[in-house]
């Protein structure tokens, strides 16, 4: 498998800061990690957006957040309101959770309309749709990917990391195969090492969600230096 430089890999990472129990000091420590390693973005809890945007100002690290998280069962109107507030607070990307029950029920119009409303509320900002693949079979993952594209979103994403399962190479490949070139794939949940990151990218992911950015990029740095990668991180929550 081809290697990827630290800088190239950092440009794919959304550093997750989503655990509900995190204190402000813990959030700040994670924001500083994101800035130190130069990741593409952080993905923070909605209540942390304004603080994160202020702390990261001038670092080049974007601020994203989650919508309808983690279950996707809030109403479309509530998701739209969340998006509008998130943008007002300084978010530049949103990761929405699909209406999982509607997807499993075959209510494709409900799913598509929910996605489209969030995309429209985001007003051109990057919108990612989390399918929560741990709850879905292959047919539902493939159909959810196609509905993501029909709703106008920019990314289809594997997981919240809070459902007892995360990204797999097989699911990333399945998602990639069911969307056109205009839609990208984000792998999140269980991306714990440099090797995991390489595998997800090889399967078709162009963005990775992880709380283990420092470990993964530390491994990439060692590879760049010809030392090899050895570490892993407990990233079971994202």
The DSSP secondary-structure symbol of 86 reads H
Contacts of 207 (CB under 8 A, 6+ apart): 12, 13, 14, 40, 128, 155, 157, 184, 185, 186, 187
157 catalytic residue (yes or no): yes
Active site includes 186? yes
State the Cα–Cα distance between residues 86 and 76, nearest whole angstrom: 15
Check if 108 is active-site. no
Measure the CA–CA gap between 176 and 126, rounded to whole angstroms: 18
Q: How far apart are the first and last CA of the chain?
A: 24
Concatenated DSSP letters of 195-221 = HHHHHHHHHT-SEEEES-HHHHHHHHH
Name the catalytic one among 48, 79, 128, 157: 157
Which residue out of 79, 186, 196, 235 is catalytically annotated?
Answer: 186
Q: What are the distances in angstroms from CA 234 to CA 110, 184, 193?
A: 36, 26, 9
Catalytic residue among 95, 114, 196, 235: 95
List the catalytic residues: 95, 157, 186
């Amino acid at each position: 498998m081809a290697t990827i430089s630290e800088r190239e890999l950092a440009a794919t990472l959304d550093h997750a800061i989503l655990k509900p129990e995190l204190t402000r000091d813990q959030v700040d420590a994670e924001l500083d990690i994101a800035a130190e390693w130069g990741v593409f973005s952080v993905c923070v809890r909605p209540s942390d957006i304004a603080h994160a945007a202020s702390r990261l100002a001038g670092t080049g690290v974007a601020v994203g957040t989650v919508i309808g998280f983690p279950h996707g069962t809030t109403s479309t109107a509530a998701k739209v309101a969340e998006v509008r507030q998130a943008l007002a607070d300084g978010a530049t990307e949103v990761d929405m959770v699909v209406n999982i029950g509607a997807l499993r029920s075959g209510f494709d119009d409900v799913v598509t309309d929910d996605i489209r409303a969030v995309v429209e509320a985001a007003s051109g900002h990057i919108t990612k749709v989390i399918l929560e693949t741990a709850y879905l079979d292959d047919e539902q993952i493939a159909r959810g990917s196609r509905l993501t594209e029909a709703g106008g979103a920019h990314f289809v994403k594997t997981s919240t990391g809070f459902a007892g399962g995360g990204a797999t190479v097989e699911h990333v490949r399945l998602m990639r195969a069911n969307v056109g070139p205009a839609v990208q794939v984000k792998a999140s949940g269980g991306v714990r090492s440099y090797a995991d990151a390489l595998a997800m990218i090889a399967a078709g992911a162009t963005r990775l969600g992880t709380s283990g950015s420092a470990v993964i990029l530390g491994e990439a740095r060692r590879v760049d230096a010809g030392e090899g990668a050895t570490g892993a991180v407990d990233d079971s929550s994202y």
